[in-house]
């Protein structure tokens, strides 16, 4: 019997979460440059370098910039040696994505922060900068939903809030710069250079020969269209592409229409946005974990069920095709 596969796009087929991490690193640099005058900025610079090391060596499933600093903050609390905190944080994060950290990578992590005090005397730490932006960004979901203005607006508002905390009235030109940093998350050239996740072309090619494919993505059509163009995703989905500002079980059921729910399976990286809504709609769910930002991490965990399966890599869909829900 022909099955219908509803695919999520971001961080399922296309690595996307670190586009926001790159913008976050720029925000740290910009804020500390503006408000860190007269302070030891080595710690902030080392933390940016640490984020680069983690993402560069652990790849797309590495935690995003906020979570990297959250882990580092936990390890570094009370410590006077940022290098030790970085080595431990690296170890935890590598294991968290199923990679055994080599001695070389651990020692690079250690060397980035060695002899730097974890608790510098600055008014605001890199983690606080990103945690502020993230808190505002989640709050702004109510106002902007998944529109592309949300993330840059949250960057601007975070800059304003941090300025106020430092007792400074922000210059309008600086607020605009913060907004501009947010816009760099939507760079079509970078989308093109990076392309799809490993295993995606083969898996989609395999499924397309047997079944029906539909792409269901949440986001701003202006941004998603750039990604579709840059990755050539229409090759497999044709016009069966739905870009939604809001995705829930009712919307998925409307998209599935006349199809038997027993023959429809949703594939995605998020428990909250993909697995939970698929189950509520009565569909099967394939979960390929890559939990990204704060919004997606609010869930009750994953339990396997008759129509729910968790895979490490998308290409396992080929190997385990006959037993997929």
H or E stretch covering 4: strand 4-7
H or E stretch covering 217: strand 212-218
R_g (Cα) of the chain, nearest Å: 21
Contact 289, 310 (CB under 8 A): yes
Query: Shortest distance, CB of residue 278 to Mg ion, whole angstroms?
Result: 12
Q: Which of 67, 86, 65 is nearest to 75 (CA)?
A: 86
Contact 66, 293 (CB under 8 A): yes
Query: Shortest distance, CB of residue 13 to Mg ion, whole angstroms?
Result: 9
Query: Shortest distance, CB of residue 214 to Mg ion, whole angstroms?
Result: 15
Report the residue number, 10 or 134, with the smaller CB distance to Mg ion.
10
Q: For residue 172, give both structure tokens.
A: 């309008």
Report the residue number, 34 or 218, with the smaller CB distance to Mg ion.
218
Report the residue number, 13 or 108, with the smaller CB distance to Mg ion.
13
Report the residue number, 27 or 271, with the smaller CB distance to Mg ion.
271
- Work out the angle at residue 165's Cα, subtended by the Cα atoms of residues 179 and 113, and round it to the nearest 5 degrees: 80
Query: Shortest distance, CB of residue 41 to Mg ion, whole angstroms?
Result: 35
Contact 223, 186 (CB under 8 A): yes
Q: For residue 233, give both structure tokens.
A: 């995703």
Give me the DSSP letters along 147-183: -TTHHHHHHHHHHHHHHHHTT-PPPHHHHHHHHHHHH
Query: Shortest distance, CB of residue 164 to Mg ion, whole angstroms?
Result: 34
Report the residue number, 206 or 293, with the smaller CB distance to Mg ion.
293
Report the residue number, 182 or 219, with the smaller CB distance to Mg ion.
219
Query: Shortest distance, CB of residue 77 to Mg ion, whole angstroms?
Result: 32
Query: Shortest distance, CB of residue 268 to Mg ion, whole angstroms?
Result: 6
Report the residue number, 11 or 220, with the smaller CB distance to Mg ion.
11
CA dist 268 and 245 (Å) reads 17
Whose structure tokens read 């690079």? 108
Q: How many CB atoms lie within 10 A of CB 180?
A: 15
Give me the DSSP letters along 100-122: PPPHHHHHHHHHHHTT--SS-S-
Report the residue number, 78 or 301, with the smaller CB distance to Mg ion.
301
Query: Shortest distance, CB of residue 15 to Mg ion, whole angstroms?
Result: 10
Residues that bind Mg ion (CB under 5 A): 8, 10-11, 269
Report the residue number, 160 or 199, with the smaller CB distance to Mg ion.
199
Secondary structure of residue 267 in the 3-state scheme? strand
Query: Shortest distance, CB of residue 314 to Mg ion, whole angstroms?
Result: 12
Q: How many CB atoms lie within 10 A of CB 79?
A: 15
Contact 284, 278 (CB under 8 A): yes
């Amino acid at each position: 019997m022909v099955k219908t596969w509803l695919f999520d796009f971001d961080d399922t087929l296309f690595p996307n979460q670190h586009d926001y991490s790159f913008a976050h690193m720029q925000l740290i640099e910009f804020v500390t440059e503006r408000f860190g005058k007269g302070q030891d900025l080595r710690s902030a610079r080392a933390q940016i370098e640490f984020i680069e090391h983690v993402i560069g060596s652990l790849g797309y499933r590495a935690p995003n910039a906020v979570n990297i600093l959250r882990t580092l903050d936990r390890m570094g609390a009370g410590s006077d040696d940022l290098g030790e905190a970085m080595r431990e944080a690296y170890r935890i994060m590598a294991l968290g994505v199923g990679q055994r950290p080599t001695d070389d990578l651990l020692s690079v992590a250690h060397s980035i922060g060695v002899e730097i005090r974890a608790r510098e005397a600055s008014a605001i730490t890199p983690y606080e900068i990103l945690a502020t932006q993230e808190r505002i960004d989640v709050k702004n979901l109510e106002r902007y939903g998944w529109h592309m203005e949300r993330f840059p607006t949250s960057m601007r508002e975070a800059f304003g809030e941090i300025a106020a905390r430092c007792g400074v009235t922000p210059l309008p030109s600086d607020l605009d710069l913060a907004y501009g940093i947010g816009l760099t998350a939507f760079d079509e050239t970078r989308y093109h250079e990076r392309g799809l996740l490993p295993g995606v072309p083969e898996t989609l090619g395999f499924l397309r020969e047997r079944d029906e494919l539909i792409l269901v993505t949440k986001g701003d059509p202006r941004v998603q269209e750039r990604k579709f163009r840059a990755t050539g995703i229409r090759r497999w989905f044709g016009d069966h592409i739905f870009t939604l500002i809001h995705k829930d079980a009712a919307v998925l059921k409307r998209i599935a229409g006349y199809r038997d729910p027993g023959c429809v399976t949703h594939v995605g990286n998020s428990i909250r946005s993909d697995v939970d809504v698929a189950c509520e709609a009565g569909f099967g769910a394939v979960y390929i974990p890559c939990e990204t930002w704060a919004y997606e991490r609010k869930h009750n965990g994953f339990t396997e069920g008759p129509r729910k399966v968790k895979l490490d890599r998308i290409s396992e869909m080929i190997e385990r095709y006959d037993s997929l829900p």
